[in-house]
Structure 1
Amino acid sequence: MSEAVIIIGGGLAGSEAAWQLARRGVRVRLYEMRPRRLTPAHRTGNLAELVCSNSLRSRELTSAVGLLKEEMRRMGSLIMEAALASEVPAGKALAVDRERFARYVTEKLESEPLVEIVREEVTEIPPEGLTIVATGPLTSEALAEDLRRLTGEDYFHFYDAIAPIVYADSINWDRVFRADRYGKGEGAYVNCPLTREEYERFVEALLSAEKVPLKDFEEPRYFEGCLPIEVMAERGPETLRYGPMKPVGLVDPRTGKEPYAVVQLRPENREGTLYNLVGFQTKLKYPEQERVFRMIPGLERAEFARYGSIHRNSFVCAPRVLLPTLQLKKAPRVFLAGQITGVEGYVESTAMGLIAGLNAARIVRGLEPVVPPPETAHGALIRYLMEADPRHFQPMNINWGLFPPLDLPPRRRKKIPKRERYRLMAERALAVLSRWLEEIGET
């Protein structure tokens, strides 16, 4: 029998990867340091313990995360099985009883003959054999240092500084203009101009907005280059005009003048369906982000694909260090899974564990690792990891802006109501997934 695949970390991604390997007849040695050593966020020794919300978000197929869950269910996900077995009423969301959920996953893996659970901390990646690193947002300093050795010193991060992302079709294009500073470049940036009165109202609203409190294990370790937008505003009423909202070198073609202040939006993907609010990393609560950022001209009806945040999170710069199979470029025998890959959220982390487990099993069985098609939710996430701009890479939730557009003329696409468009994209994804699984022999 072949050597066991090593999995470091028994969270959502590690547990899912272990299950995918075992159901394909591959032995697994799963290392989890809890309960011998607890993290500041965990309370038990159960595998797949949820440390924040008990919600896995929308279950509707017209939401991207609902589609991702359905794909996982069809691919035999243990985490989805556990969620459905422990769900609690939550309307259109899938929420779970935390204890029952974690206990279900733990008991399933403990009773699986091909899975050996070792309650020890791992501080180094084994020098030989297949290994899946699924240590999550609280990766220890020691293991992180070993990952740096394999990936490159500059490509490992301990804190997110995430700016919000809005859907392009929710921008009021009549109130914005395209331009790069001083006319340099190709006009990639979209600029939202503010008058003095609009700027002052925005700053006032920003300063009074509610913020997310820091967790016990977090400290406000901000860097000058990525301060929260509200922290910058606290330094003085004009600070933002000399920082991320500076208008210098930008002329509004409608007035022929430089605006008093400007918010720049940067394309987040090649299709131009998503735009990032440059320099707007924030600790504001999500409803407050909607309220305050919709005061920006052009964003009055903005819909958010991702909200801004700053929190502790260990992740690699995926475009530089990962293959689309989730193997390290410099050490293909090592897979990454979960949030450490650069995805955000319970479901997305689990999905990366599923793909890492599937691919590790294929290698053990002498098969080539595979990449899900970009029309699927799994493939759309992985494509983001591979194609995001490495200079500005930040973790991402699944959202419809990551998917290829429907194969329809642009005019016809725009006429289709949004919910119907998402339904068609979900149907396409599930049909493509079914064909793909059959092609690779994983049905």
Structure 2
Amino acid sequence: MAEKASAREKVAIVTLGCEKNLVDSDMMAHLIDEKGYELVDDPQQATVVIVNTCGFIDAAKEESVNKILDMADLKESGKVKSLVVAGCLTQRYKEDILQEIPEVDGIVGTGDFMSITDIIEESLVGKRPVRIGNPVFSYEEVVKRKVKTGTYSAYIKIAEGCDNACTFCSIPMMRGAFRSRSMESIIEEARHLASQGVVEISLIAQDSTNYGTDLYDGKHMLAELLNRLSEVEGIEWIRLHYAYPGFFTDELIEVFASNPKVCKYIDMPLQHSEDTILKRMRRPGRQRDIRELVAKIRAAVPDVAVRTSLIVGFPGETEQDFQNLCEFVKEIKFDRLGVFTYSSEDDTPAVRLPDHVDEETKERRANQIMEIQREISREQNDRFVGKELDVLIERYEGKSDVFVGRSGFDAPEIDGEVFVSGYKGELGKIVKVRITHSYEYDLAGEVL
């Protein structure tokens, strides 16, 4: 039966939004592969296309809708017989999708994607299946994922959902309350990924530093999880994302300082510097707490790279608030930084706040922050010239005859890369590179 199914249908998964969606797509890919369908990368070669959507902010929702419409066109011009929409957008806007995009043949929400093969089968026989239930999915149920050949770095969800109730965020509506996975299931998934050639895992959650408090008698267990994951054979780098500052313990700092497999890289979304804005955002802690924590981390781990993300144009942000934020960025000198303009999200408390900022002002502020960060990044990168860094080699650029990788100080897709000359080995290896040149965000060097 599997051979017949494979011969009949070719399935492409198009993933949008954050890396959490990528994890869900990998799980769907495993189920689809087990069923006997053939997975293909190019939607134009597929008979079934799944669009795993994002519904977090306006720009992401627009991108998701446009991609659905693009894939719908393939039902006219290509081989596509079934178009299935999954993910956060379906969880929030089921009726809109069904009514406004008739080309969609089936939809599945964030808590029901394990039924993806049933959705495909029903859609192919003329039904229009809808599986939108409770957004809560238990990641204890499955750890198997199918990653694409040549994947050396993968994300692992250590928890899902969120309890922090930030006024700007719609995540709890799409993903439910905070719930940690057991250490055993996470470790099993890491082993499964290592068996497929993955050497770097990046731990993700809406609130990663709160890991374990709901499962282990209120204890923060992230430090222990990092140490146990470092024992998994084949995993060489472990990277941490979305570290909520309020739960960053001394024990966790010690793991970063002492465990060689834990990358000296901390992604800590702070959102803003000003106490009045943080209070409106309903973020715990204040600027003084943030300054003290970053100083403590850098004192214990001198070579650490600290990444943050900020929101500009939040309701009530004055020009003085913004200038104070600029000064904060200049003083702290984050190694990596991303900035977002505030997006009004349906049914979130921030929508009802007074003094909304106009779009032109938001864009100006975002650009100004990134100009500041550009100079800081160049200055921070200069310090690597002449030093040796471990670099994970990920691809080969034939036109320039160089290999491209990342150091432990750079996360995939969002941070800089290292251009490596003189390398003759395989992809997926971590090698020593002497840095010879630095740029605003990237580095270049020679393999040793």
Same fold per superposition (TM over 0.5): no
- TM-score, reference length from structure 2: 0.30
- TM-score, reference length from structure 1: 0.31
Higher relative contact order (CA 8 A, sep 6+): 1
More strand by share: 2
